[in-house]
Structure 1
Amino acid sequence: MTSVTSLFASVEADLELMTENLKNLVSARHPILFAAAEYLFGAGGKRLRPAIVLLAARATMPHQALSSYHRRLAEITEMIHTASLVHDDVLDESEVRRGVPTVHSRFNTRVAVLAGDFLFAQSSWYLANLDNLEVVKLLSRVIMDLAEGEIQQGLNRFDTSLSMDAYLEKSYCKTASLIANSSKSAGLLSRVSSQLAEDLYHYGRHLGLAFQIVDDILDFTASDEVLGKPAGSDLKSGNLTAPVLLALEEKPYLEKLIEREFAQTGDLEEAIALILESRGISRSRELAAQHSKAAIECLSNLPASEARQALIDIADYVLSRMY
């Protein structure tokens, strides 16, 4: 399987610079928050979201140098993503993420909440200083969507009547909104046409949905070591994802197990077995493939370039994670 970092070769130097800038942007006047942020940005995440911003910038300005505004947009995107992860881990009471201790488990919950708040505030400040009202609106909407997605997920725990449309809307808010709106913002900073800006938005939207669906499949098919958390942990917490919703159509007893919140010994293991026996996983793979294909089609109006090809390869990579 292709390494995701190899897809970023054309913007690797940009990403390294971004990581150093992020550490410096978090003020040393707050030593605990600085330590938390340095830990976060040094934790070796995939940096997928800022990489997409930088690639979209290079794809829309193939013969020009990256502007300071594009670089700052990539930093803001990673700040928003990281802040949301810190808060998600607190809400989910996760001790590890990708095998690394979470901020609240390494420091404490108070520091984690403050670090997340601080990063959201920092991102808003630097966003305002881009002096582009449309980009400010797009990224501000992302922060609202992240909160909305978390609220939807909390309210719909163990709700077997949840529709696929509601699941996709929640997935858009929690994952795809940031990729979609930051991709579009990169195009706006390049002063592309309104049509091309919309194409970049829909590329990010479809890519983000494919990414989330694949993540939800891996919750059932990957090992604890690969996930960095126990397999089936989303289901255990009552977060019903695409494989579960599709399995419910075939396995009526699964509904009973979910609605009693796996209260009896062996309930969770039985539920996972039912999902794996059903076509829930295979149908989810088909759904992810549809969104990946749609994402690639959205790039057809971009001129051929190394950056455009990398954006296409990222959509293919998202699917390859399933196998």
Structure 2
Amino acid sequence: MLEKRNNIKNKFTFWDSFPQVQKDMIEISHIILTHVNSVPGLLGQALEDTFAVPGKMLRPACVMLFGAFGPDADQKHDELQKIATSIETLHNATLIHDDIIDESSMRHGRPSIQTKYGKHIAVYAGDYLVALSLTLLSENAQSLHSVIADGKTMQNILVGETEQYNNAYNIDISEKEYLDQIKGKTGVLFGLACFIGAYESGTKVTKALKAKKFGEYLGQAFQLRDDILDYTTTSSTFKKPVLLDVKDGIYSGPLIFALQNDDNNHLHELVKMGKDLTQDQLHEIENLVNHLGGVERAQKLADQYTEKALASLKKHWPDNENRALIEQLTGRLLKRQY
């Protein structure tokens, strides 16, 4: 058992500077593996593969960090870990379903579930994780308030993803439409994680809603940074294919902002080629997005959302070690390279 825990720890080097958070993430990962290892057949294999290389687990970390502010944090610690597990399983369900829709071949540097097991098993795996998420939450939440918040968040995620789908190949997508999309795709789940951590540890709902707002700002900054990395890093560093979204008509912030400055329409003409784009042309798009200020504009927006998050944190939460951890993490996410 100790060897297995040490193997899990080696996968969470992102948290080396945050030992208490790392300890919680290791335990949450163990809870997940305990559940998925009991699932038989191909579905079980697909679920084990899903968590073989865990992501950063930022959302469950938000649950635990904001949970630490509550008056019941110590006595509710085990329940908070299971609720945080429910958030992580829900997040991974959305990733599996995203990969099916986008026909993505890679996830976390490995073949995606739909690539390795086919779309049918991938759909079942995503659905299973949604069911597991709801089970873990309903078994450990103190009231229906958290379950209702979870359901509304799932609805908002689906609306955000659908809006992105509806805007495929829309070269005239506005900044507001893009920001609304990333709030729905990413911001609301970060918001739920922060809210539910605070609320389930005894924080009053009115104050827990302040945690939700922080999480939404953080999530939008995180997604902006994610989109920036498509134009500033390599697939091996980022652990997923970069720029392929352009071929599929999914346009993120840096490209949208660069198109607004494309006076000679050269970038427009390249983007309109869609699935016919060659690797050299994708590289040219990457250079143009940087040259036309798309990355710079996206980074400014990421900075602004980060500043909003930190201002909210300082205004509504006590100046203690836990807040300092959240501040450090927020700054680190803005500067990450993967």
TM-score (norm 2): 0.88
In structure 2, C-alpha distance between the alignment counterparts of 1:55 and 1:270, rounded to whole Å = 42
Q: Select the residue among 225, 245, 267 that pairs with 1:234.
A: 245
In structure 1, C-alpha distance between the alignment counterparts of 2:73 and 2:191, rounded to whole Å = 24
Counterpart position of 2:326: 311
Q: CA deviation at 1:37?
A: 1.8
Counterpart position of 2:22: 12
Q: CA deviation at 1:290?
A: 0.7
1:141 counterpart = 2:152: yes
Q: Select the residue among 276, 291, 294 that pairs with 1:277.
A: 291
What per-residue deviation string (whole Å, max 9, x for no partner) do you get for residues 176-207 of structure 1?
A: 11110121111111221344212211110010
Counterpart position of 1:34: 44
Q: Select the residue among 64, 69, 75 that pairs with 2:79.
A: 69
Aligned 8 A contact 2:97 2:126 in 1 = yes
Counterpart position of 1:106: 116
Listed as ranges, the matches of 1:239-254 within 5 Å are 239-252=250-263, 253=265, 254=267
Listed as ranges, the matches of 1:53-202 within 5 Å are 53-61=63-71, 64-129=74-139, 130-202=141-213
Counterpart position of 2:4: none
Q: Structure 2 vs 1, CA of residues 283 and 322 (structure 1 numbering), >3 Å: closer, same or farther?
A: farther
In structure 2, C-alpha distance between the alignment counterparts of 1:262 and 1:40, rounded to whole Å = 28
In structure 1, C-alpha distance between the alignment counterparts of 2:66 and 2:182, rounded to whole Å = 22
Higher relative contact order at CA 8 Å, sep ≥6: structure 1 or structure 2? 1
**Deviates further, 125-134 or 13-22:** 125-134
Q: Structure 2 vs 1, CA of residues 26 and 314 (structure 1 numbering), >3 Å: closer, same or farther?
A: same
Counterpart position of 1:50: 60
Q: CA deviation at 1:35?
A: 2.0
Counterpart position of 2:302: 288
Q: Select the residue among 258, 264, 275 that pairs with 2:271.
A: 258
Which secondary structure state, in structure 2, belongs to the residue aligned with residue 221 of structure 1? coil
Which secondary structure state, in structure 1, belongs to the residue aligned with residue 53 of structure 2? coil
Which secondary structure state, in structure 2, belongs to the residue aligned with residue 220 of structure 1? coil
In structure 2, C-alpha distance between the alignment counterparts of 1:322 and 1:17, rounded to whole Å = 26
Which secondary structure state, in structure 2, belongs to the residue aligned with residue 238 of structure 1? coil
What per-residue deviation string (whole Å, max 9, x for no partner) do you get for residues 99-126 of structure 1?
A: 1221122222211111001111121223
Aligned 8 A contact 1:219 1:234 in 2 = no
Which secondary structure state, in structure 2, belongs to the residue aligned with residue 272 of structure 1? helix
Q: Structure 2 vs 1, CA of residues 316 and 169 (structure 1 numbering), >3 Å: closer, same or farther?
A: same
Amino acid aligned to 1:259:
K
In structure 2, C-alpha distance between the alignment counterparts of 1:127 and 1:279, rounded to whole Å = 43
1:219 counterpart = 2:230: yes
Q: Select the residue among 297, 307, 311 that pairs with 2:311.
A: 297
In structure 1, C-alpha distance between the alignment counterparts of 2:281 and 2:112, rounded to whole Å = 28
Structure 1 runs not aligned, ≥5 long: none
Q: Structure 2 vs 1, CA of residues 229 and 11 (structure 1 numbering), >3 Å: closer, same or farther?
A: closer
In structure 2, C-alpha distance between the alignment counterparts of 1:123 and 1:171, rounded to whole Å = 22
Amino acid aligned to 1:80:
L
Q: CA deviation at 1:260?
A: 4.1
Q: CA deviation at 1:264?
A: 6.1
In structure 2, C-alpha distance between the alignment counterparts of 1:313 and 1:53, rounded to whole Å = 16
**Deviates further, 249-258 or 158-167:** 249-258
In structure 2, C-alpha distance between the alignment counterparts of 1:175 and 1:187, rounded to whole Å = 19
1:208 counterpart = 2:222: no
Which secondary structure state, in structure 2, belongs to the residue aligned with residue 162 of structure 1? coil
In structure 2, C-alpha distance between the alignment counterparts of 1:305 and 1:270, rounded to whole Å = 48
What per-residue deviation string (whole Å, max 9, x for no partner) do you get for residues 287-310 of structure 1?
A: 101111111112123223332222
**Deviates further, 279-288 or 36-45:** 36-45
In structure 2, C-alpha distance between the alignment counterparts of 1:112 and 1:320, rounded to whole Å = 33
In structure 2, C-alpha distance between the alignment counterparts of 1:311 and 1:211, rounded to whole Å = 14
Structure 2 runs not aligned, ≥5 long: 1-12
Q: Structure 2 vs 1, CA of residues 189 and 95 (structure 1 numbering), >3 Å: closer, same or farther?
A: same
Q: CA deviation at 1:45?
A: 1.7
